[in-house]
Structure 1
Amino acid sequence: MVFQGASALNLDAKGRMSVPAKHRDALLVQGEGRITLTKHPDGCLLLFPRPEWETFRSRVAQLPMDAHWWRRIFLGNAAEVDLDGAGRILVSPELRSAAGIEKEVMLLGMGSHLELWDAATYAAKEQAAIAQGMPEALKQFNF
């Protein structure tokens, strides 16, 4: 299953997020509702169904010693969560703080995983990327 699309969501007072049905169904099929969240240095959180996480975790664990801080960022901050009966996940206070997430978020499907952004941060970074213009790699891409 492939995750794609953007969803504007809100966290509740306890830091729980309702996963949209299209993603919830895929998470239930792929990982039986078991999810891993971790930090990303771009300022968002990565959300993986458990089988995709295990693949990612193995790749990160094999990084050379000069990448030990990246192992710490990705593996040391990983939190395993489960979808609850209402289709929500709990985003820990530590991970919310790391991504600057308070209430309004954007959940983006990125193929094998999802990204969770603070909505204002995502909007600002998207506008900055657009203002910089298309990177060389996309100039040859046919739309």
Structure 2
Amino acid sequence: MGLSFRGEFNQKVDSKGRMSIPADFRRVLESGDPNHPENPNPRMVVLYGPHLKNKLEAYTIEAMAEIEAEIKAMPRGSKKRQMVSRMILGKSWETEIDRDGRIVLPKERRAQIGLDGEAVMVAMGEHFEIWNAATYDELETAEIEAFLEEMPDDFDPMSLLDDTGGE
């Protein structure tokens, strides 16, 4: 298993959609790109489907290859494979981090998540999310508060690691 994404980073997005990728995230992207270091600019895959609502998801090349292999293992011609292919493969694009450590988010992708000015990148282990900073602050606070209300006062998030029952 390769490196994992960790942390939360706020970054400015300029009028052309350029956004710096944090150095910690670049190291993970480099380790997950089979063409690196021959190609010094690591690549990544960004998902933008309608199922993502307020965010984009960014994956290493290797992580996306694993997802593609899982899709290819599904029965050909099945409705599930068709939908997963459209929502993941059809709604993704590969981009390269430039020598200054930036990517360019196309105008359509910025519009999808209302990204104007400041983005937040949130580590999710095998991938990271890209949000409009204000939307993330609002939704994440509400989501965590609602979740914690259902938990006992002495709740420890580490206790969920033993829970194999899914969500």
Q: TM-score, normalization: structure 1?
A: 0.85
Counterpart of 1:57 in structure 2 is 68
Which region of structure 1 is more displaced relative to structure 2, 124-133 or 114-123? 124-133
Say if 1:126 and 1:56 are closer, same or farther in 2 by CA, change over 3 A.
Answer: same
Say if 1:29 and 1:36 are closer, same or farther in 2 by CA, change over 3 A.
Answer: same
In the alignment, the residues of structure 1 paired with residue 158 and residue 45 of structure 2 have an alpha-carbon distance, to the nearest angstrom, of: 33
Cα deviation 1:13-39 (Å, max 9, x = unaligned): 210111111111221222130111112
In the alignment, the residues of structure 2 paired with residue 11 and residue 113 of structure 1 have an alpha-carbon distance, to the nearest angstrom, of: 20
Say if 1:131 and 1:15 are closer, same or farther in 2 by CA, change over 3 A.
Answer: same
Do residues 39 (structure 1) and 48 (structure 2) align? yes
Say if 1:70 and 1:98 are closer, same or farther in 2 by CA, change over 3 A.
Answer: farther
User: In angstroms, what is the RMSD of aligned CA positions?
Assistant: 2.5
Higher strand share: 1
In the alignment, the residues of structure 1 paired with residue 114 and residue 81 of structure 2 have an alpha-carbon distance, to the nearest angstrom, of: 25
State whether residues 108 and 114 of structure 1, in contact with CA within 8 Å, keep that contact through their aligned partners in structure 2.
Answer: yes
Superposed counterparts of 1:57-136, under 5 Å: 57-60=68-71, 62=74, 64-66=78-80, 68-134=82-148
State whether residues 39 and 99 of structure 1, in contact with CA within 8 Å, keep that contact through their aligned partners in structure 2.
Answer: no
State whether residues 71 and 81 of structure 2, in contact with CA within 8 Å, keep that contact through their aligned partners in structure 1.
Answer: no
In the alignment, the residues of structure 2 paired with residue 50 and residue 81 of structure 1 have an alpha-carbon distance, to the nearest angstrom, of: 10
Which region of structure 1 is more displaced relative to structure 2, 55-64 or 35-44? 55-64
Contiguous gaps of at least 5 residues in structure 1: none
Q: Bigger relative contact order, structure 1 or 2, given CA contacts below 8 A and separation 6+? A: 1
The percent of aligned pairs where both chains have the same amino acid is 27
Say if 1:12 and 1:80 are closer, same or farther in 2 by CA, change over 3 A.
Answer: same
Contiguous gaps of at least 5 residues in structure 2: 37-41, 161-167
Flag the structure with larger Rg. Answer: 2
The aligned length equals 142
